[in-house]
Amino acid sequence: MDLKLTGWKTLAYAELYQPLAGVLGDRSAKPFTALNILTVGDLLRNLPRRYLSGTELTDLSTLTEGDHVAVTAKVLRTEIIEPQRFSQRPGNGRLEAVVTDGHGRLQLTFFGKDHLLAWWEQQLQLGESGVFIGKVGRFRNDLQMSHPVFAMLDEAGQIVATSQERARAVEMAQSGLVGMYPATAKLPTWTVAECARLALSAFTGDDPWPQWLRDEAKVVDLGTAFEYVHRPNTLADAERGAGRLLFDEAMATQLTMAYRRHDASLNTAVPRPRQQAGLLDAFDARLPFELTAGQQEVGEEIFTDLAKDRPMQRLLQGEVGSGKTLVALRAMLAVIDAGGQAALLAPTEVLANQHFNTIKSLLGDLGAGRMLGSAELATDVVLITGSMSAVAKRNAMLRAASGEAGIVVGTHALLGAKIQFAELGMLVIDEQHRFGVEQRALLADKASAKPHTLVLTATPIPRSVAMTVFGDLEVSTLQEIPAGRAKVDTVVVDALDHPAWVERAWARVREEVSAGRQVFIVCPRISVKNRADGMGVEELAAELRAGPLHDLQMDVLHGQLPTEAKDQAMANFASGRTDVLVATTMIEVGVDVPNATMMVIWEADRFGISQLHQLRGRIGRGAFPGVCLLVTNLPRTELARQRLSAVAATSDGFELAELDLAQRKEGDVLGASQSGSRSTLRLLRVLDHADLIAGARMLAEECVAKDPRCATPGFQDAIRATELLAGPDWIDRS
């Protein structure tokens, strides 16, 4: 992100988006990059993890276990305990000291070699006063501090010569409440606090929110909030300051979504009402199964949207195998019946090819265009990807531009300037989180009127996340699994305590293949440099070929293969020529091989809950039951190992999505941490702050009603900042 942006409408945003070096200097600002703090605003919004009660406030008689405090006290006694008397730390002794402030007593404990113990004892002269900073613990029913930061004071209360770091810590601890910030080895919390106060002194910006909005939200002004956070007099003030900063995140996100919804409502679209006796009716008549109640209900919601003169903006989320592709295809056919074309945008070539083949298969001769023998109502379906030959791509482009192709499936190649449509009436985006708002707009701009947009996601999204990330879209949900889908059993294979279970897993693969079925083996990595780090696709495939699966037909699939090799590997597996496919998560979504009934996920603890659920959704898609084996080397006590047990315990994707969100930071869910980029949600936790988000959404609607043209400078800056930070996440959150 370019941090030297100009053109902010408010002084507050102009100051907050200054590079940190402009206030601290290059040398002082550089260590902050490790904390992803790049601007003045990043630093001022960097909240302390907790607050330390300073020496002016702390009475030893009032201390309780777990307090983080700084105390001024006098040394009563010291004693060095020899190493042999403390067997838990062989080779180290300990120094015990007792200090008092006249009201209560506190024990201090230091561990180390003889020379360190002697040095500490020399520092802690009997009868001398000092400042001691740390966490209060308990040992043998006595309160104690283990290895406190400390500095001794002279008779005038001044710090006796000591290290610069300890002196700074004590000086700050003597000033009341002190924030304890996230720190690094090169950037201790005292330095962060000093720099935050320096940035605070330089901040002069007016509040970007109008007074009426602050009044309705019952929040303090921005300058006061920063003051309360970084220079609090009371914990209540610190909480009020943090509350304002939380509100700002929620409000900026919801305001951005509210104006997107408003802008979309002003656009016109060509109504595409459902036609009778058309391609859709012909398709429905040929379906060899009944649509689920959910598919019918969502289908009617979409048909209602398509009939309006405002562009549909709808998100369709569905449980694994719930039939989202079928719902989307029926919507595309309705648009074709009404004189339009539909484009389906997929994030990868493998997925684009899968969609193309699935749609062609479902349509049969209804998707054969004007070929001899095709149905009278038939339309053409074409595929456009970057790796196609020039001739094939040109032919597909001509059929899209002429209108001969009613359905155009493709990857980012559809966004190219040379791709034209005769009458683009609908845009279907699969896995929306991998495409940004800007990319969506590029394709939408290829139509004379705004096309109707249907966004698909195979990852169940908790309502709190949907409201935050997809707040510009109406949401439809498919939870019902179509009849005939086979059950998938999931089992954790404990390779640490039961290595023989891994051998049994490979034997189970052979049994499945002997029964005429196929198996996925999924690895989190393509390859590893050091075998001590485990195995990737290439290493595991080589070991299986040489060992337990030596006589099976095996292929590999990963992102570094040439496009032709990837397509061939997928085609071989889909046609049944390959027994086992060893792959990365390229097969996570969209891949449909009904004969695949087993999946082995290697190093399964490296995957998140939702991703594991999506992966196992690739099996059991036919008439035969499936089994998914989660192989791990982690002990049962590890959180990642416990995630595997949760996945094995339920097949409810929405339940697992809530658990996934509860266990991981939102940065993971929203995509920021996956690329190291900056998230719009530095403080907000969508589960913990759901009520705040809902309230901000209502206030955002009120903002749009009061200012439909978004003329308020603070609104413009908040939206700009949100899209600036969110852009990289939403464009490529893979």
At 403, list the tokens. Answer: 């209108």
Supply 389's token pair: 């030959």
> Could you tell me the pLDDT band of residue 51, with boundaries at 50, 70 and 90?
confident
- What local confidence, expressed as pLDDT, does residue 188 receive? 78
Rounded distance between C-alpha atoms, residue 455 and residue 266, angstroms: 20
The CA distances from residue 169 to 32, 149, 163, 198, in Å, are: 19, 8, 10, 16
CATH of domain 279-478: 3.40.50.300
Pairing relation of β-strands 149-152 and 129-139? antiparallel
Query: What per-residue confidence (pLDDT) applies to 618?
Result: 87
Task: Quote the CA–CA distance of 353 and 381 in Å, as a whole number.
Answer: 12
- The larger pLDDT score, comparing residue 729 to residue 387, is at 387
Domain boundaries, the chain: 51-180, 279-478, 488-670
Mean pLDDT, rounded, for 642-661: 84
- Among the listed residues 704, 672, 732, the one whose alpha carbon sits nearest the alpha carbon of residue 213: 704
260-309 pLDDT per residue, tens: 889 888 888 999 999 999 999 999 999 988 899 999 999 999 999 999 99
Q: Are 615 and 585 spatial neighbours (Cβ–Cβ below 8 Å)? A: yes
Q: Is 333 exposed, middle or buried (0-12, 13-18, 19+ CB in 10 A)?
A: buried
What does the alpha-carbon distance between residue 214 and residue 337 come to, in Å, rounded to a whole number? 51
Residue 173 is predicted with a pLDDT of 67
Q: Answer whether 279-478 and 488-670 agree in fold.
A: yes
Give the pLDDT mean for 4-22: 88
pLDDT at 605: 93
pLDDT of residue 91: 61
Assign domain 51-180 to a CATH class: mainly beta
Three-class secondary structure of residue 478 per DSSP: strand
Residue 567, pLDDT above cutoff 60? yes
Q: State the average pLDDT over residues 247-251.
A: 94
Instruction: Write down the pLDDT at residue 443.
Output: 58
Q: Give the separation between CA 299 and CA 293, rounded to whole angstroms.
A: 10
Distance of alpha carbon 169 from alpha carbon 458, whole angstroms:
51
Query: Residue 209, CB half-sphere, CA atoms under 13 Å: how many?
Result: 25
Is the confidence at residue 365, as pLDDT, over 50? yes
pLDDT at position 440, please?
54
- Rounded CA gap, 703 and 6, in Å? 25
- Summary mean pLDDT of the chain: 85
Residue 729 has a pLDDT of: 36
Instruction: Tell which residue, 159, 157, 83, 174, has the closest CA to residue 123.
Output: 159
The Cα 201–Cα 203 span in angstroms is: 6
Span 450-478, average pLDDT: 78
- Look at residue 375 and tell me whether its pLDDT is greater than 70: no
Neighbours of 97 (CB within 10 A): 26
Range with the poorest average pLDDT among 73-87, 142-156, 190-204, 335-349? 73-87
Q: Which of 93-102, 214-223, 587-596, 686-695 has the lowest mean pLDDT?
A: 587-596
Can you tell me the mean pLDDT for 574-597? 87
Please state whether beta strands 105-112 and 488-494 pair in parallel, antiparallel, or not at all (unpaired): unpaired
> DSSP letter string over 336-404?
HHTT-EEEEE-SSHHHHHHHHHHHHHHHGGGGBTT-TT--TT--EEEEE-TTS-HHHHHHHHHHHHHT-
- pLDDT above 90: percentage of residues in the chain: 47
What separation in angstroms does the CA of 387 have from each of 350, 379, 381, 390, 562?
11, 24, 18, 9, 10
Q: With contact defined as beta carbons under 8 Å apart, do 458 and 589 qualify?
A: yes
Instruction: Look up tokens 């910030």; give the residue.
Output: 181
Residue 384 has pLDDT above 80, yes or no: yes
How many C-beta atoms lie closer than 10 Å to residue 142's C-beta? 11
Helix (H, G, I), strand (E, B) or coil at 460: coil
Interstrand relation of 142-146 and 93-100 (parallel, antiparallel or unpaired):
unpaired
DSSP secondary structure letters along 17-73: TSBTHHHH-HHHHGGGGGGT--BHHHHHT---SEEEBPTTT--GGG--TT-EEEEEE
Q: Which two tokens stand for residue 425?
A: 């009436």
Q: Is the pLDDT assigned to residue 326 strictly greater than 90?
A: yes
State the Cα–Cα distance between residues 257 and 694, nearest whole angstrom. 13
CATH number belonging to domain 488-670: 3.40.50.300
Is the pLDDT confidence value at 337 over 90? yes
Tell me how crowded residue 84 is: count the other CB atoms within 10 A of its CB.
9
Q: How far apart are CA 533 and CA 531, in angstroms?
A: 5
Reduce the secondary structure of 406-447 to three states and give it as a string.
EEEEECHHHHCCCCCCCCEEEEEEECHHHCCHHHHHHHHCCC
Identify the pLDDT of residue 672.
Answer: 35
pLDDT cut 70: percent of the chain above it: 86
User: Token match 């095709």: residue?
Assistant: 374
**For residue 449, what pLDDT is reported?**
78
Q: What is the mean pLDDT of residues 425-437?
A: 70
Residue 671 has pLDDT above 60, yes or no: no
| pLDDT at 667 > cutoff 70 | no
Distance CA 460, CA 320 (A): 9
Within 8 A by CB and 6+ apart from 202, the residues are 15, 23, 40
Which amino acid, residue 94? R
**What is the pLDDT, as a whole number, of residue 434?**
46
CB 730 within 8 A of CB 440: no
Find the mean pLDDT for residues 639-653: 88
Q: What is the tens place of the pLDDT at every residue in 76-111? A: 999 998 765 444 445 678 899 999 988 899 999 998
- What integer pLDDT is reported at residue 681 of this predicted model? 64
Give the Cα separation of 130 and 136 in Å (integer): 17
Least confident range of 130-134, 421-425, 497-501, 685-689: 685-689
